[in-house]
A and B are shown apart, each in its own frame.
Chain A
Amino acid sequence: MAYAYEACGEPILSVRNLEVSLKTSVGELKATRGISFDICPGETFAIVGESGCGKSISSMALMGLLPRIATARADRCVFDGQEILNLSRRKLSNIRGNTLSMIFQDPMTSLNPVYTIGDQLTEVFLRHGKGNRKQARERAVFLLERVGIKNAAERLGAYPHQLSGGLRQRVVIAMAMMCRPKLIIADEPTTALDVTVQMRTLALLAELQREFGLAIILITHDLGVVASLSDRVAVMYAGQIVETAPTRQLFADPTHPYTQGLIQCIPSYEPPNPDAELHTIPGMVPSLIGKQRGCAFRNRCSLAVDACGEGDEIALRELGEGHAYRCLQPHDALVANWRLLQGESA
Chain B
Amino acid sequence: MLQYFVKRLGIALLVVLTVSVISFGLLRLSGDLAQNLAGEGATPAQVDEIRVLYGLDRSMIAQYFDWAGSALKGDLGRSLFSNDPVFELITHRLPVTFTLAVSSLLLAICVALPLGVFAAVYRNSWIDRAALGLAVFGSAVPSFWFALVLIYVFGVQFRLLPISGSTTWAHFIMPTVTLSTMVMPQIMRLTRGGMIDALDADYVKMAWAKGLNPMAVFFKHALRNALLPVVSLAAVSLGFLLGGSVIVESVFSVNGIGSLAYESIKRADFPVVQSILFVLSFVYVVLTLLSDLINARIDPRIRLH
Contacts and interface: CB of A to CB of B under 8 A. Distances in A.
Given A112-B221, A113-B225, A113-B300, A95 B211 contact: yes
Given A113-B299, A161-B300, A127 B225 contact: no
Interface residues of A, number: 29
A110 B210 contact: no
Task: Say whether chain A's binding surface is mostly helix, strand, loop, or mixed.
Answer: mixed
A94 interface: yes
Q: Which of B208, B224, B298 has the most CB of A within 10 A?
A: B208
B209 A112 contact: no
A36 interface: no
A69 B211 CA distance: 21
A238 B221 CA distance: 35
Contacts of B208: 63-65, 93, 96
A105 to B, nearest CB: 8
Given A112-B225, A161-B301, A93 B211 contact: yes
Given A112-B225, A114-B299, A114-B300, A104 B202 contact: yes
A89 B202 CA distance: 19
Interface in A193-214: none
A111 B206 contact: yes
Nearest to B302: A114
Nearest to B210: A97
A108 B300 CA distance: 15
Nearest to B301: A161
Contacts of B210: 96-97, 101, 123-124, 127, 175
Contacts of A127: 210-213, 216
Contacts of A101: 209-210
Task: Say whether chain B's binding surface is mostly helix, strand, loop, or mixed.
Answer: helix
B211 A65 contact: no
Contact of B211 (A94, A109, A161): A94
B203 A110 contact: yes
Contacts of B213: 93, 127
Contacts of A260: none
A64 B208 CA distance: 9
A113 B203 contact: yes
B201 interface: yes
Contact of A113 (B207, B211, B212, B301): B301
A112 B301 contact: no
B267 interface: no
Interface in B190-238: 201-203, 205-214, 216, 221, 224-225
Q: Which of A89, A104, A110, A175 has the most CB of B within 10 A?
A: A110
Interface in B274-305: 298-301
A89 B301 CA distance: 34
A234 interface: no
A93 B213 CA distance: 7
Contacts of B216: 127
A124 B211 contact: yes
Nearest to A128: B211
Q: Which of B225, B300, B301 has the most CB of A within 10 A?
A: B300
A216 interface: no
Nearest to B224: A114
A294 B255 CA distance: 81
Q: Which of B211, B213, B221, B301 has the most CB of A within 10 A?
A: B211
Interface in A98-138: 98, 101-102, 104, 106, 109-115, 123-124, 127-128
Interface of A: 63-65, 89, 93-98, 101-102, 104, 106, 109-115, 123-124, 127-128, 159, 161, 172, 175
Given A104-B202, A127-B210, 12 more contacts: A63-B209, A65-B205, A94-B211, A96-B210, A96-B211, A101-B209, A104-B206, A109-B202, A112-B221, A114-B298, A127-B213, A127-B216
Give the 6 A-B residue pairs with the shortest CB-CB distance, closest first.
Answer: A97-B210, A97-B211, A96-B211, A109-B202, A112-B203, A110-B202
